[in-house]
Structure 1
Amino acid sequence: MTQPAGPIPPLLLVGCGQMGSAMLAGWLADGLAPSVILDRHRADGPAPHRIVRQAADLPDDFTPALIVLATKPQKAAAVIPDIARFARRAPVLSVMAGKTVGGLAASLADAGAPGAVVIRAMPNTPAAIGQGMTVCYAPPAATEAERALCGRVLSAVGDTAWVEHEEQMDAVTAVSGSGPAYVFLLAELMEQAAVAQGLPPDLARRIARRTVSGAGALMEQSGVDAAELRRRVTSPGGTTQQALAVLMEPEAWPAAMDAAIRAATLRAHELAS
């Protein structure tokens, strides 16, 4: 798919919490045309972009190339009427967990924007430093140009991929959308365990964080399968093998990670209803 070149076109960003702020940081770094941000908690923003705290203050003469829905899923019903007039002339990119393309399109139609095109994406918070992973789904009604525009916007904050079936997005949400929290928890637990073994807290934090980030960078840059990288670190009878014998017990990490991903996938599905 060929993506539009040049600066990122004007956007209407609806919601600027954790995910919205992460994406905005990436867009600003990549060059974002003057845009409007609707968020009742944000008082100001970088010029020349405009912050609007309530829907009534959205400028009628603003014509975004794309509307990015980044509110919490529970607030979707409240914001749909606010953006309907813009959705009559620009596609909508939703980054809300669980909310389906069909459900959002139906809500927009009820609010006065029949035929609005909705594309769904799930980014993650490393988007703030251009290291995000975003997976997208576009319905058959979306044009190649609309898909390319979304790809251009999302590629500014990291890697992008597409799925053919929308139901796959629940698993995407559980793995990559929620995934940074799992990695942060790993670093947190490693730090705590290091302190318990007698290391000073500052050193424990430093080596835990650097080990996690360095291992991730090695895996990304080497392209080697994760299992093979694990084997390369594991000497027979050594310290790593002793640790992995604990972590890889069937009821330890294998069971816990599977249960965690299933729980997050189920929650993403519940949010759609």
Structure 2
Amino acid sequence: MTKPSSQLPSSLTLVGAGKMGGSMLEGWLALGLPSSGVTVIDPRPSEEVSRLCGERGIALNPAQPPVSEVLVLAIKPQMLDEAAGRLNGLLGPKTLIVSILAGKTIGDLKSRLPAATAIVRAMPNLPASIGRGATGAAASGEVTDAQRSTADALLRANGIVEWLPSEDLIDAVTAVSGSGPAYVFHLVECLAEAGTAAGLPPDLAQRLARATVIGAGELLFQSGLSPETLRQNVTSPGGTTAAALGVLMAEPHGLKALMRDTVAAAKRRAEELAG
């Protein structure tokens, strides 16, 4: 059994229990968050969430939700305006808001939720749904050290957490780790297609490309070595990998320049959506 974290709150309300919210809830319960203090609000909960709440004695859509120590916002960003009135009634003077609403700034939340004080804005990514996420987080000035520790414990249940010195960096985080899984998935697509062009049967190329990226990622995770060192370790001078990297690392149109443009485009769009 997982040892409960001393930083976990005694009471928490989760608003929005979709793919990400539901995964976060499972992570918190695995860490030892007392289910008796958890409330879930979701107008259309999945069968999995409904079953989990029933099995663990979690209050699901009560008529009068309590004011909790922590309020986690995991609804779709476009639902904030409609839900703001009800959400404001769930806030006490010491309630910590943890928001994963993409594009909604701390200022946006304060303007729509007048009762809000301490707010942590977080940007998790899709692998958080399997406990291997990368989350960037920024705290408003009202967040206490204890509240920050609580938010850190909750967010860390689904992967690593990087605390940002300024909320201004959230858009860059979105462009790197938030959108980043899609870049990796597309890499697998492209590698498989290149394998097919080189003569492999499509299904075999797909399996090899998928397994290669999964294995390389796991090696990066387990080894502790830098990506540069791992790349050098697998590259023999004058060998096949060196020949391939000669293409990927060519300037000015190699992978480095392509990724720089890719992240810049995502960051610009994040800024537009936030504005």
**TM superposition score normalised by structure 2:** 0.85
The secondary structure found in structure 1 opposite 2:120 is: strand
Superposed CA deviations along residues 204-261 of structure 1, whole A, max 9, x for unmatched, are: 2332222112211222222222122112212222211222222223223222211111
Whether 1:68 aligns to 2:72 is yes
Q: Using the alignment, how far apart are the partners of 1:248 and 1:21 within structure 2?
A: 40
Deviates more, 1:171-180 or 1:80-89: 80-89
Q: Using the alignment, how far apart are the partners of 2:46 and 2:131 within structure 1?
A: 25
Partner of 1:272: 274
Gap runs ≥5 in structure 2: none
Partner of 1:160: 161
Superposed CA deviations along residues 109-155 of structure 1, whole A, max 9, x for unmatched, are: 1xxx2x53211111112122221111211122111111111111111
Partner of 2:100: 95
Q: Is the 8 A contact 2:8 2:150 kept in 1?
A: no
Percent sequence identity over aligned pairs: 44
The secondary structure found in structure 2 opposite 1:87 is: coil
Compared CA separation, residues 194 and 11, structure 1 to 2 (3 A) = farther
Partner of 1:132: 133
Paired AA for residue 151 in structure 2: C
TM-superposed CA distance for 1:95, in Å, is 0.9
Gap runs ≥5 in structure 1: 53-57
The secondary structure found in structure 2 opposite 1:251 is: coil
Trace 1:22-37 onto structure 2 (pairs within 5 A): 22-34=23-35, 35-37=38-40
Which structure's relative contact order is higher, taking Cα pairs within 8 Å and 6+ residues apart? Answer: 1
Q: Using the alignment, how far apart are the partners of 1:191 and 1:127 within structure 2?
A: 26
Q: Using the alignment, how far apart are the partners of 2:194 and 2:60 within structure 1?
A: 44
The secondary structure found in structure 2 opposite 1:64 is: coil
Compared CA separation, residues 60 and 41, structure 1 to 2 (3 A) = closer
> How many residues get paired?
262
Q: 1:85 aligns with which of 86, 89, 102?
A: 89
Paired AA for residue 39 in structure 2: V
Partner of 1:251: 253
Query: RMSD between aligned alpha carbons?
Result: 2.3
Partner of 1:200: 201
Superposed CA deviations along residues 19-76 of structure 1, whole A, max 9, x for unmatched, are: 3233234334334433333333424421223443xxxxx4425343311112232332
Paired AA for residue 66 in structure 1: V
